[in-house]
């Protein structure tokens, strides 16, 4: 089963595809700035019942050329992954006739070192395929501890928090990000990154720090912390917090769809706007990242 922190590690790129360019610049990698970015299907299945799904696939158009970016999240060493990655690269190259770049996001140095490879596939005497993924992890993603820097680039600050989740500097990173989220003008974006960081931190020490920081403002958080605080609010008769959470949950789902270029039909928008079930809104929020149409949210 795919874990929530696994999902968060690549959804940052899906929510703001320009993140990859800013991260690459921070690492002094010579990739040109994107002029156009398109989300592609992550379903790379050719023959049923074999299911092959990459985490995130983007088509990048620059002034010089076009290429595909495959973003994968990896939490631990897994010797089965190189074969899957090689399949993704070969399939996408054959289908789109474009160069493909594989980016692997890790949150611990051991996994990052392994993922950097080179990873060989084939006979030990003469391996025919060698993978060299571009790895983002605590060893090369900058630790964003400055509030001004975090405000300037929320996606990079969120990625910094996730990739440094187990590092000593995580407290300073999260404090800067928390302050930045309260300063940005786009409250919907702030909510999205608040949720992604919560999921990405998983059960690390950073998650405890983050929940303490976010518990200061109930209206700002939609995930596990907000649910716990809403329960406390109910016990104290503070139903206003629950109502606001429902309203923001509806707006959040619609916001994700429209940011991805999906305009819900009047019927779909009415169904979302009428929903008062927080669990259902949470499920729709998760599906909104992958949905091809608004109706995909409601599939059982």
Instruction: Report the alpha-carbon distance of residue 23 to residue 38 in Å, rounded.
Output: 18
Q: Which of 27-41, 129-143, 172-186, 206-220 has the highest mean pLDDT?
A: 129-143
What tens digit of pLDDT does each residue of 83-101 get?
A: 999 999 999 999 889 999 9
Question: What's the pLDDT score for residue 216?
Answer: 52
Q: Name every residue whose Cβ is closer than 8 Å to that of residue 37 and which is 6 or more positions away in sequence.
A: 17, 18, 58, 59, 60, 61
Question: What's the pLDDT score for residue 36?
Answer: 75
Residue of higher predicted confidence among 54 and 114? 114
Question: What's the pLDDT score for residue 50?
Answer: 36
Identify the band that residue 220 occupies on the pLDDT scale cut at 50, 70 and 90: very low
Q: What is the DSSP letter of 33?
A: P
| Cα R_g (the chain), whole angstroms | 20
Identify the band that residue 282 occupies on the pLDDT scale cut at 50, 70 and 90: confident
The mean pLDDT value of the chain amounts to 79
Q: Would the pLDDT of 59 be above 90?
A: no
Mean pLDDT of 42-50: 45
Q: Would the pLDDT of 219 be above 60?
A: no
Question: What's the pLDDT score for residue 43?
Answer: 55
Sign of CA dihedral 158, 259, 181, 156: positive
Q: Name every residue whose Cβ is closer than 8 Å to that of residue 200 and which is 6 or more positions away in sequence.
A: 5, 8, 9, 12, 107, 158, 161, 162, 165
Q: Name every residue whose Cβ is closer than 8 Å to that of residue 233 and which is 6 or more positions away in sequence.
A: 218, 239, 241, 242
For 136, other C-beta atoms within 10 Å of its C-beta total 27
Q: Would the pLDDT of 136 be above 80?
A: yes
Tokens 């909104």 correspond to 288
Is-above-0.85 flag for pTM? no
DSSP helix/strand/coil, 127: strand
Ordered alpha helix ranges (H), the chain: 4-15, 19-26, 81-96, 109-116, 147-152, 154-163, 170-183, 187-201, 205-214, 224-235, 239-259, 266-274, 278-288
Instruction: Report the alpha-carbon distance of residue 256 to residue 222 in Å, rounded.
Output: 14
* Torsion angle of the four alpha carbons 225, 227, 228, 231, in this order, in degrees rounded to the nearest 10: 150
In 3D space, the residue among 54, 82, 84 whose CA is nearest the CA of residue 68 turns out to be 54
């Amino acid at each position: 089963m795919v874990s929530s922190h696994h999902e968060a590690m690549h959804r940052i790129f899906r929510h703001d595809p320009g993140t990859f360019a800013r991260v690459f610049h921070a690492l002094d990698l010579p990739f040109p700035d994107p002029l156009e970015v398109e989300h592609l299907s992550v379903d790379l299945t050719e023959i049923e019942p074999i299911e092959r799904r990459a985490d995130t696939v983007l088509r990048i158009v620059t002034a010089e050329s076009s290429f595909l970016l495959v973003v994968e999240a990896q939490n631990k060493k897994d010797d089965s992954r190189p074969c899957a990655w090689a399949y993704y690269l070969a399939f996408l190259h054959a289908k789109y006739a474009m160069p493909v770049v594989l980016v692997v996001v890790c949150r611990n140095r051991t996994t990052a070192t392994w993922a950097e490879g080179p990873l060989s596939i084939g006979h030990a005497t003469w391996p025919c395929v060698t993978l060299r993924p571009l790895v983002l992890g605590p060893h090369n993603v900058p630790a964003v501890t400055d509030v001004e820097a975090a405000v300037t680039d929320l996606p990079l600050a969120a990625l910094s928090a996730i990739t440094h989740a187990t590092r000593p500097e995580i407290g300073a990173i999260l404090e800067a990000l928390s302050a930045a989220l309260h300063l940005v003008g786009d409250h919907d974006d702030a909510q999205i990154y608040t949720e992604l960081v919560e999921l990405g931190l998983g059960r690390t020490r950073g998650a405890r720090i983050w929940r303490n920081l976010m518990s200061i403002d109930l209206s700002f958080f939609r995930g596990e912390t907000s649910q716990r605080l809403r329960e406390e609010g109910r016990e104290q008769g503070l139903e206003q917090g629950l109502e606001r959470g429902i309203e923001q949950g509806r707006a959040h789902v619609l916001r994700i769809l429209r940011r991805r270029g999906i305009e819900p039909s009047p019927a779909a928008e009415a169904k979302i706007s009428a929903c008062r079930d927080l669990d259902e809104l949470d499920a729709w929020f998760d599906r909104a990242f992958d949905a091809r149409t608004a109706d995909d949210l409601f599939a059982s």
